[in-house]
Chain A
Amino acid sequence: MAQSIDEIQNEIIEEFALLDGDPEMTNFYIIELGQKLPPLEEAKKSEENIVKGCQSKVWLVPSLEESKMNFEADSNSAITKGLVSLLVRVFQDQAPNDIVDADLFFIDKIGMNRFIGTQRSNGFAAMIKQIKLAALVNKERQAIAKSDPK
């Protein structure tokens, strides 16, 4: 049984608790998480996949595979890549409906705004918005497909 969005969030909260709020270790940990993201094909680093509103470049490629969402992501900033990797981890293989309804309590719990600053917080919010929007589009598509089975 795959983990739920909330279960993954709780896992992340536990991991960050081990860092004890040390800003330097937290940054390096976030970078490490980003380094684990599978590389994104150069062709997908296109203008349309860029998340608007980030100071650094962030590419986010959502798709729907067998009724679950799949996300690929990359960034030219190692820290931003780490941040987007957290979102990918939370939302990978989840149903569009669950993503739309998800409450991202882990952001406050790990004290993210404290160590990433206002500019990055805004960029992070833009990433979440783009993910939720992609999920919403797919949720609507699924609803249409259900009501109109041809």
Chain B
Amino acid sequence: MSTENTVVSTTQLDIDQIRSDFPILHQEVNGRPLVYLDNAATTQKPQVVIDALTHYYQQDNANIHRGVHTLAERATAVFEETRQAIHQFINSNEPEEIVFTKGTTDGINLVAATFGRTNLKEGDEIIISGMEHHSNIVPWQMLCEEKGAKLKVIPVNERGEVELEEYKKLLSARTKLVSVVYVSNSLGTINPVKEIIDLAHAQGAAVLIDGAQSTAYLDIDVQALNCDFYIFSGHKVFGPTGVGALYGKRRLLEKMPPYQGGGEMIRSVSFEKTTYNDIPYKFEAGTPNIADVVALKAAIDYINQLGKPAMRAYEEELLAYAHQRLSEVSGLRMIGTAEKKMNVVSFVFDDIFHFDVGQMLDARGIAVRTGHHCTEPLMAHFGLEGTVRASFAMYNKKEEIDQLVEGLQRIVKMMGK
């Protein structure tokens, strides 16, 4: 196992200090201390993010971009500071290439509705992978249906890795877009996105990278990756829910029609003719989720302050420890054993239903996810209805993995037939 980016050798993080930054972690669930291992679904928020939300509503709240009064100026400034922070966070060429969205799903739908509708015609093809979550499947299916285009799927091997040789065979001059996840939410697989992007470009296809699971830990450089679109959600990078960002190359964004009509996205409106605003505002119709955008910057600052290399190093330690400890649980079968993976362990028991495991762990205050993780086709590929998934963040401790293992061993014992 190794992550894509460099990993520092020793843990430099003070985990107890980090835990004290997250108020939600200090509570009891069902009479026991909470063990939160559902970070792939959503991450918890540090106090600085919660404070940023409160501060915004207590001090700065005003509508942005149009007001000339002091609060409007302040609100606009902090809103735009987040765009600047994201621009640096993922190294876009300029802040104008960052469009605020409601989250990953919204970003993918935006690209499907604008880039997709403009650039696809009958007979064209879109390629996704077999490990995509529903948000990176359904918008493309809808687009293909509308345009008479075809959706092709890169197969996944038994370890839960995309088969690059098969991908090469799927690519052709008909491929207009490739849309793949950087890190799988169900398996933790880190995909070779650079190779995927280069191969697609060689055929003239654009590439969207779904960065929902990768943005918190991997060093993201959209220029080095040379992806055409990169999308992530605030709530999976320790920021608020309901906000996210879409990166798009300027030349693509400029050619794309607006997504929704309304305020902010226009330059001038008359009943005869409306002209549209420049990017990124062209895609930001209406009053945005200002407070959550503002608080997202606090989350990015928090990550930058801890440092992704240190976060990755610790997260790697947790993952390796989880793999080792879980292998001690009798009857447990790991799903997803990719060579490159991060922060997710997915597993099943042949004779214990995954929901039952989840519910019995909850009775001990342990939060894991059970089910198909919105990746039904991937589950079907493994012949499963679902898995139990434990996913880690840098505030988790090895002791919590011990508690998970202890809980699982107790379940196995109690349900032993």
Contacts and interface: CB of A to CB of B under 8 A. Distances in A.
Interface of A: 22-24, 26-28, 31, 55-56, 76-80, 115-117, 120
Contact of B360 (A24, A55, A76, A117): A24
A117 B360 CA distance: 12
A106 to B, nearest CB: 20
Interface in B268-327: none
Contact of B355 (A26, A28, A79): A79
12 contacts: A22-B31, A23-B363, A24-B363, A28-B360, A31-B415, A55-B355, A78-B356, A80-B353, A80-B355, A116-B359, A117-B362, A120-B359
B358 to A, nearest CB: 9
B352 interface: yes
B30 A24 contact: yes
Given A24-B30, A31-B415, A56 B355 contact: yes
Interface size class of B (residues with CB under 8 A): 10 to 19
Contacts, number: 44
Contacts of A31: 356, 414-415
Given A24-B30, A31-B414, A31-B415, A77 B355 contact: yes
B415 A78 contact: yes
Given A23-B362, A23-B363, A120-B355, 11 more contacts: A23-B31, A24-B360, A27-B360, A27-B363, A31-B415, A77-B355, A78-B352, A78-B353, A78-B415, A80-B355, A115-B363
Contacts of B414: 28, 31
B398 to A, nearest CB: 23
Tell which of B355, B371, B414 has the most Cβ of chain A within 10 Å: B355
Contacts of A27: 359-360, 363
B353 A76 contact: yes
B376 to A, nearest CB: 13
A79 B31 CA distance: 21
B363 A56 contact: no
B356 A79 contact: yes
B364 interface: yes
